[in-house]
Structure 1
Amino acid sequence: MKTKIIGILICTLLIAAILPSQAINLGKNENLTFDYRYLYQNDVLIPPDIENAQKNRGPEPGYYDTSEFMIGTISIGIIFLESDGSIDPSTEDWTQQEKDYVMGSLGIPGGHLQWYNWWSTENMYFHSFMVYGDVHTVNISYEPITHPSAITNDYWEKLYISEAMDELGYSTGDWMQRVRDYTNYIRDNTETLPGVFGTDWAFTVFVVDNSNDADGLFSDGYHAYAYLGGPFTVCPYLYPGPPGGPLLKEVFAHEMGHIFYATDEYNGNTDYSGYLNQPDVEGSGCIMDNLAPYISSGTRLQVGWKDTDGDHKADILDTFPETTLNPYTPDPTKDKVLIYTGTATVQPLTNNNPNGLGNDVTTNTIGGGEFRVDGGTWMYIDATDGTYDEAVEPFTFTTPTLTLGVHTIEAYTSNNLGNNDPTPASDTITIKNKAVDIPFQWLYKFLESHPNLFPIIQIMLKWLGLL
């Protein structure tokens, strides 16, 4: 069964009063009388395929760059794993009520935002934070909760996730590649607006039913876990322990932090992570510590929320594009109306993440451009394909009619945040009354090697009015 849920949770974030260096409620969660942190010791894993992965060459996020920083739009693949009893005895069966609870906990329509509120209301930027869901229930031969988690033994995870992805049509490669293929698919193909497809980021959550399990834990005693930087997390349906403890909403928010490179704040180590290579805050009493619904100053920096100059543009995106203008040929020319071409390219901030591939990427796009002649009025530049919406945009423009002489043509472009290239590209061109046409240029090259014929040819060209 497959359910498509498109275009949910749109929230423009205007929390300008929170300074980048401030922590958000660093107090302990006094409502928790039971220390749940032991359940999440070492609950983050390193994706095994990163070591041999190829680095991305362009400014846009590549195949492995599905959750580099938590700014922008996100597609979440939500996969309910349903055992069919064909290999393991089926001890768990999803009910619609259970699924509705999960969907509500993950912020899907009919739910009450929950984790989404915590992340979004503490985002200090004007960037929109949008989430879109792609939901499936997939039959598998295994009962995941009865086996060890991948924290101690990834054998079982490989089996049931490979099988689940095969059911969804992703059968190439190992379990990790299959999930990455699916995650990239939903990132590229989620419909965010009518006729508009694609999000900035994506990851997958495999939801494991544990409602009938004695302790609610995998057989090795672990609960939810995630791969640092994605592409997925595994979250059991119910929390273990006595009443009053964290729910799926807290657990999911914690694991989502790992997906975007946030580290645990309870292990006694100050860990550096994230695009900006920032330290966590040990014992913060926040979501990456004891699952309390607050975000520490360290976690915010690790997921990319930093605005050094206070312009409400995250440092990661507050960069400037580069403009390339192709020189006009021939030069000199007799043409008085010139058609120029060039390329605008967004520039990513250097990725200092000590984890992952460390690709320099950005979700920025080119937003427009202008040109001018001899320091005059700036005029609009058209994108070659008619729309500015890519990280790299070819452009073209046509000058007004120019007079004879030397002219300087300048062009600059801007990105979608309104940041202009501070160093416009330029070209100097000379316009002559009777510049030699390209078909006759071969003649000059011929005369260079036969100078004795030059006087005769010169007389002929003057007679023809070409000189």
Structure 2
Amino acid sequence: MAGKKLALTLLITIITLNLWPSAPTAQAQDNAPVQALILLVNDNPAQLTEVVDLLEAQNGQTRHVFPNRAVIALATPDTIQSLAALPSAAAVFTQAIEPSSIDSYGPNGNHIASVWNNLIASQTAPLNVGLMASGHPNDPNDALTAPDLPSVSGRMLLGASAASVTPGYYQTSEYMAGSVAVGVVLVESDGSTDPSTEDWTSAEKQQVFDEIVTGLNWWAEMEPRAHISFVYDDHFSNPLPTSVEPISRPYSDQKYWIADAMSEMGYDASFYFTQVRDYNNDLRAAYQTDWAFTIFVVDSSADGDNRFSDNYFAYAYLGGPFTVMTYGNNGYGSHNMDAVIAHETGHIFHALDQYYSAHQPCTRSAGYLGVENQNSLYGDCTSNENSIMRGGISPYGAKAIDSYAAGQVGWRDSDGDDILDPLDTDLPINITSVSVVNDSVTVTGATEIIPYPSPSRASVTINTLARVQYRFNEGDWQQATADDGAFDGTSESYHFTASLPPGLYTLEVVAVDSAGNVSEANATETISILDPIDGGLNTELHQLSGAASTGNPVNINGMAYHLQGGIITSVEYRINGGDWQLASAQDGAFDSDYEPFTLSTDSLAAGTYVIEARAADGEGNTEVNFPSYGFTVAEEHFIFLPLVVRGL
């Protein structure tokens, strides 16, 4: 093992030398984020956590996770260097991998190396236009509605209780943001019902996975504010058996082969949609992601047109739970499967079709935000832009998505705060109790996340509370403590204790969530700390607004107040322990329980000074524990400039 680690260290060193130039200026210029593949030393989940945590801490972005084997991320060269130094990182790559250099990692390493090489390679495989057009000029609408969904009113009711602000059983892809678990499932006919005409080869299986990851990476790159990452559950290496030959049947016969595949995984519900939903929810729980969906791929390499018998070849259910593709995808071909899965994933997250033959009108709304389909070719729509939801490979290669399709998947920022609307939550917070004992203040309270409201769907959030902060008199923010030990839910109670010197304080408390939202309205409380000797009689001195210099008077403001309602009758001050002098009330008279005042001195010589102030009340009490403030008077310097007059 030690010898292997030494070899891996040498490999990392070689890569590092190729990444970071020696010139400081070049290093600064080249610290832009790049994609990197991080291979893990072994399958210990703690190693994956270590890599992901470092990426998050250094503002990197995790894009693809191959559980306990590897991570593909976007990171700066500086962060990549930090990753390479982790004990959990076997190797870090930023360029294509020579197959021979990855042999020591076994077959899993080769699978991931192939994915990586495909991801960073530029590829523009041609369409077989003739095959696409022959016999089937009008492709059917490929965005279907799942037959097992509750009614709209039922879905709204499911989201009505406080417990459902997080996505529920049917809500596995409400908007495209956050982390997504993806089950990649290939099926293989065993010949027991239909003759087996298709057989997956190792190269075909690998190509399917390569293309799927590349297609999903398209979405991860398109909207950085969505922070999208994908986690893959592998059922492509060993395709799941079915008694039928899927490609020889109509798409509706998916009920047989999907049920067979899910039963093989141990999901035995009576309806195949329920089987897939159970699987998706298990994926979401196991990988702790926000969303989950399944991709089924049917072998069609021996089929003439790469379609099912009823002309379908790729389709998805709006909002999940799954999408289906054939290996050849009509005339797209297997090398353009990335473009196909990118389009179908749009449907998974509620984007509608926009090509004419789908017959989707301009005014149909979809998605969590209820956005209209105004870029559809079916009708006189507001927009006419190249877009991924129009199909073909042109928008995929051009990275084109129109604002309406983007809005349907949740990519809209109405208030321009760089937080996408579905993540733009409200964080109401309250103070439940304040206890003051001598100079100690203990505060309790609660906060929660209110999801961004959906106009037509149950309102849910993937955000979690990140922290609660408090401050006194606009000072530095401090961290409160979650009652359950961690801020990681959608509702939390909190507490904190602080020690304060005598005085009057305004307490502010705010909540912050994982998307960066901050409570719009702070919870506030006024707190009085009585002096053990002076009681409620208190004086405060404010800092000078600018530098003090010789030749100029020094004016210092402050305030005197009585926390027990007494009347302030005078304020005195002295400098460097000298005689006490009277200060001036800013309103002309000391005659209330709250009195701002000003201390005015004549010009002072250069040096350091300490000024003290004390208040007296109507009961004859004079402050004993009074404040002091130190300041410096600088020598005033003059610069004489010659006056030059021309033309005399």
Interval of TM-score (by shorter of Structure 1 and Structure 2): 0.7 to 0.9
Aligned to 2:469: 370
Q: CA deviation at 1:385?
A: 3.5
Q: CA deviation at 1:406?
A: 9.3
Aligned to 2:39: none
Q: Deviations over 1:172-229 (max 9, x none)?
A: 3421111111111111222xxxxxxx12211101111111123221121211111100
1:10 to 67, 70, 73: 73
What secondary structure is seen at the aligned counterpart in 2 of 1:202?
strand
Question: Is the CA contact 2:327–2:334 (under 8 Å) kept in the aligned structure 1?
Answer: no
Aligned to 2:455: 352
What secondary structure is seen at the aligned counterpart in 2 of 1:164?
helix
Letter in 1 for 2:73: I
1:133 to 217, 224, 232: 232
Letter in 1 for 2:268: S
Aligned to 1:388: 487
Letter in 1 for 2:271: D
Aligned to 1:172: 269
2:431 to 319, 322, 325: 325
Q: CA deviation at 1:50?
A: 1.4
Letter in 1 for 2:312: Y
Question: Is the CA contact 2:354–2:389 (under 8 Å) kept in the aligned structure 1?
Answer: yes
2:320 to 202, 219, 230: 230
Within 5 Å, which residues of 2 pair with 1:210-289? 210-241=300-331, 247-266=336-355, 267-268=358-359, 269-270=361-362, 271-280=364-373, 281-283=375-377, 284-289=385-390
Q: Deviations over 1:415-460 (max 9, x none)?
A: 1233221212245789999xxxxxxxxxxxxxxxxxxxxxxxxxxx
Question: Is the CA contact 1:32–1:245 (under 8 Å) kept in the aligned structure 2?
Answer: no
Aligned to 1:120: 220
- Structure 2 CA distance for aligned equivalents of residues 321 and 248 of structure 1: 42
Aligned to 2:512: 414
1:399 aligns with 2:498: yes
- Looking at secondary structure, tell me which structure has more strand per residue: 2
- Structure 2 CA distance for aligned equivalents of residues 33 and 90 of structure 1: 29
**Residues 60 and 258 of structure 1: is their aligned pair in 2 closer, same or farther, counting only changes over 3 Å?**
same
Within 5 Å, which residues of 2 pair with 1:293-312? 293=396, 294-312=400-418
Question: Is the CA contact 2:482–2:492 (under 8 Å) kept in the aligned structure 1?
Answer: yes
- Structure 1 CA distance for aligned equivalents of residues 176 and 426 of structure 2: 20
Letter in 1 for 2:280: T
Q: Deviations over 1:248-285 (max 9, x none)?
A: 22221111110010101013421321122112312344
- 5+ residue gaps, structure 2, are 1-42, 44-64, 77-124, 378-384, 532-648
- Structure 1 CA distance for aligned equivalents of residues 193 and 234 of structure 2: 25
- Structure 1 CA distance for aligned equivalents of residues 275 and 414 of structure 2: 39
Aligned to 1:424: 522
What secondary structure is seen at the aligned counterpart in 2 of 1:104?
helix
Letter in 1 for 2:354: E
- Structure 2 CA distance for aligned equivalents of residues 12 and 349 of structure 1: 30
**Residues 228 and 431 of structure 1: is their aligned pair in 2 closer, same or farther, counting only changes over 3 Å?**
same
1:181 to 278, 286, 302: 278
Q: CA deviation at 1:231?
A: 0.8
What secondary structure is seen at the aligned counterpart in 1 of 2:509?
strand
Letter in 1 for 2:516: G
Bigger relative contact order, structure 1 or 2 (CA pairs below 8 A, ≥6 apart): 1
Letter in 1 for 2:250: P
1:81 aligns with 2:187: yes
Letter in 2 for 1:247: N
Aligned to 2:166: 60
- Structure 1 CA distance for aligned equivalents of residues 495 and 298 of structure 2: 53
What secondary structure is seen at the aligned counterpart in 1 of 2:263?
helix
Letter in 1 for 2:388: I
What secondary structure is seen at the aligned counterpart in 1 of 2:388?
coil
- Structure 2 CA distance for aligned equivalents of residues 33 and 69 of structure 1: 33
- Structure 2 CA distance for aligned equivalents of residues 30 and 209 of structure 1: 20
Question: Is the CA contact 2:175–2:368 (under 8 Å) kept in the aligned structure 1?
Answer: yes
Aligned to 1:202: 292
TM-score under structure 2 normalisation? 0.54
1:314 aligns with 2:388: no
- Structure 1 CA distance for aligned equivalents of residues 276 and 333 of structure 2: 34
Question: Is the CA contact 2:185–2:240 (under 8 Å) kept in the aligned structure 1?
Answer: yes
Deviates more, 1:69-78 or 1:413-422: 413-422
Letter in 1 for 2:269: T
**Residues 315 and 211 of structure 1: is their aligned pair in 2 closer, same or farther, counting only changes over 3 Å?**
same
Question: Is the CA contact 1:63–1:180 (under 8 Å) kept in the aligned structure 2?
Answer: yes
Deviates more, 1:4-13 or 1:78-87: 4-13
**Residues 411 and 311 of structure 1: is their aligned pair in 2 closer, same or farther, counting only changes over 3 Å?**
closer
- Structure 2 CA distance for aligned equivalents of residues 245 and 285 of structure 1: 23
- Structure 2 CA distance for aligned equivalents of residues 205 and 245 of structure 1: 15
**Residues 32 and 282 of structure 1: is their aligned pair in 2 closer, same or farther, counting only changes over 3 Å?**
farther
Q: Which of structures 1 and 2 has the bigger CA Rg?
A: 2
Q: CA deviation at 1:139?
A: 1.1
Q: Deviations over 1:31-55 (max 9, x none)?
A: 7855669564121211122125652
What secondary structure is seen at the aligned counterpart in 2 of 1:176?
helix
**Residues 183 and 38 of structure 1: is their aligned pair in 2 closer, same or farther, counting only changes over 3 Å?**
farther
Question: Is the CA contact 1:74–1:199 (under 8 Å) kept in the aligned structure 2?
Answer: yes
**Residues 408 and 222 of structure 1: is their aligned pair in 2 closer, same or farther, counting only changes over 3 Å?**
same
Question: Is the CA contact 2:220–2:229 (under 8 Å) kept in the aligned structure 1?
Answer: no
Question: Is the CA contact 1:144–1:160 (under 8 Å) kept in the aligned structure 2?
Answer: yes
Deviates more, 1:291-300 or 1:261-270: 291-300
- Structure 2 CA distance for aligned equivalents of residues 11 and 39 of structure 1: 40
- 5+ residue gaps, structure 1, are 14-28, 108-112, 151-155, 191-197, 434-467
Q: CA deviation at 1:160?
A: 2.0
What secondary structure is seen at the aligned counterpart in 2 of 1:158?
helix
Quote the RMSD (CA, aligned, Å).
Answer: 3.2
Alignment length, in residue pairs?
388
**Residues 178 and 31 of structure 1: is their aligned pair in 2 closer, same or farther, counting only changes over 3 Å?**
closer
**Residues 360 and 240 of structure 1: is their aligned pair in 2 closer, same or farther, counting only changes over 3 Å?**
same
Letter in 1 for 2:242: I
Q: CA deviation at 1:9?
A: 3.6
- Structure 2 CA distance for aligned equivalents of residues 396 and 334 of structure 1: 16
- Structure 2 CA distance for aligned equivalents of residues 86 and 30 of structure 1: 37
Q: Percent identity?
A: 36
- Structure 1 CA distance for aligned equivalents of residues 71 and 230 of structure 2: 6
Q: Deviations over 1:325-361 (max 9, x none)?
A: 32358xxx868645433322222111124xxxx1111
What secondary structure is seen at the aligned counterpart in 2 of 1:79?
strand
**Residues 244 and 134 of structure 1: is their aligned pair in 2 closer, same or farther, counting only changes over 3 Å?**
closer
Question: Is the CA contact 1:348–1:362 (under 8 Å) kept in the aligned structure 2?
Answer: yes
- Structure 2 CA distance for aligned equivalents of residues 164 and 245 of structure 1: 22
